[in-house]
Amino acid sequence: MQTFFFRVTLAFIALLAGPLSAQSTAPEKKSDVTPLELPGSEPRVFRTIGGNELRLHIVKPDGWAAADKRACLVNFFGGGWVSGTPESSIRWAKWAAAKGLVGIAPDYRTRTRFQGTPENCVSDGRAAVRWVQAHAAELGIDPAKVIVSGGSAGGHVAAWTALTGPGPDEGDPAPEITPAALILFNPVTDTKESGYGGTKRFGGKPERALACSVPDRMPVKMPPTIVFHATADTTVPYANSVAFRDKLIANGNRCELVTFEGLGHSYYSSKFGEEGKAALKKTEAEAVAFLTSLGLL
């Protein structure tokens, strides 16, 4: 009988120990790591704030010279103002360099890495573009030919670089030179309850959400804009991009909306397989045609 109870006890201990052992050896989810440099690019610190150095990563095209007056593409990564790093946006900087532009992928203060707020993200994005324009001579670019792009929350940061008033963050001045064009991928524009964000992402304060909402803060005059968005996006409503396009056009601005039927958020990512690859190809072709029509490519 004692032998029986001893075996039962051992079996019970093993049953408990199994899951605990599996938990202890399971890989932990890695947090975003701030890249100090990225292959194929040159890092520069564009802002030091709150003890944090923020870098942008510069990709120069073949044949580049400091005396050039090239156009420049600045691309911001997405991640809901929470996650993400320039490691994901450097691909667009390299794409731009392959087209003869200077490509730049800046960082900004996300919540995961810097305990940042959406307002901080906007402020950093605007500071990055100001830095690029101020250093145009050494970058070999024309400060009036800076194109700003971004996806999702990065699209929100990008759009804010074109807003001519003070930003929603304390001490965030208006841009000195507005971008020559905007290229936005499934962008966050409306940050009220009718869009992405709402009070839950702004400390429960609707006034903060309203202050960050691009359609509610943008001036009448905006740069030529092209927006890419998929109809089945359940993260950022496609309807927001339709409303954004309609308001821009109603104000006399140029805005094109390229629609992808049935795809979701980050519509050109690998998770959408061959459809995603085709969407990326179309996105690149439409972006080239848009920039060519503006004399920026």
Give residue-wise pLDDT tens across range 20-69: 322 233 333 457 999 999 999 999 999 999 899 999 999 999 999 999 99
Nearest one of 140, 170, 275, 164 to 223, comparing CA atoms: 164
Q: For the sheet containing 70-76, what is the strand order?
A: 42-49, 52-59, 102-106, 70-76, 141-151, 181-185, 225-230, 255-260
The residue among 93, 110, 202, 190 whose CA lies nearest residue 149 is 93
Task: Collect the ranges in the chain with pLDDT lower than 50.
Answer: 1-29
What number of CA atoms fall less than 13 Å from residue 264's CA on the CB side? Answer: 7
For residue 271, give every residue at least 6 positions away whose Cβ sits within 8 Å of its Cβ, in sequence order, or none.
Answer: none
CB 184 within 8 A of CB 106: no
Which pLDDT score, from 0 to 100, does residue 209 have? 97
What sign does the CA torsion over 226, 229, 231, 233 have?
negative
pLDDT score recorded for residue 31: 73
The full set of domains in the chain, from first to last, is: 42-293 (3.40.50.1820)
Q: What is the pTM of this model?
A: 0.89
Q: In this structure, what token pair is assigned to residue 261?
A: 């039927």
What is the per-residue pLDDT for 65? 97
What pLDDT score was predicted for residue 197? Answer: 83
- Class of residue 100 by CB neighbours under 10 A (exposed 0-12, middle 13-18, buried 19+): middle
Query: Is there a contact between 283 and 169 (Cβ–Cβ < 8 Å)?
Result: no
